[in-house]
Amino acid sequence: MREWLRRIRGAVGMGVTWAIGWSPVGALLGLVMGVGVLAGSGFGLGTIVARYVALFATLGFFGGTIFSSVVRIAEGRRKFAELSSGRFAAWGALGGLILGVLAVTAGILGLGGLTPLTATVAGAASLLGAGSAAGSLALARRAEDQALLEAGSGIDDVGLSEDETRELLGDGG
């Protein structure tokens, strides 16, 4: 039971991390789209940007949890240190593609059917997934390195005892 809770917590954590990373992409896209839409709509630019931020944060959350599941299934119990960045990015792209296909199929984006726009959305989700996976791996490795550095900070206090020093120098008789 604890193992499942740990896995769920990890998937949710990955989802939150990706949601945070995807939000600025949504803000930028909302800004670009909002400027073009403002002339014919009753929405203000802030409303349009906020909607895109919320959409991309939601997609990022689900993308991160899907990616976490894909990596868990594909890589099993391997540690981050054992995975290459390219392979991790490939799993991220697959997770993003799954997310894009699910979003378009479910009609979340209101695009309906297979069109060039839906293909663009699936492709963008794949690219965001690959980039997010590579970024997640870099963050995880950095956190591991920092933990190792902190764990080894007291290593300089460790030394040889007086008996060990004499024995090492040949005076231990």
* Tens-digit pLDDT profile for residues 26-85: 888 888 877 766 555 666 777 878 888 888 898 899 989 988 888 888 887 777 677 788
pTM of the model: 0.71
Q: Yes or no: say if 33 and 52 are a contact pair by the CB < 8 Å rule.
A: yes
**Token pair in block for residue 122:** 């699936």
pLDDT in tens, 147-158: 665 655 554 555
Any idea what the Cα angle at residue 86 is, between residues 80 and 90, rounded to 5°? 95
User: Which of 139 and 65 is assigned the larger pLDDT?
Assistant: 65
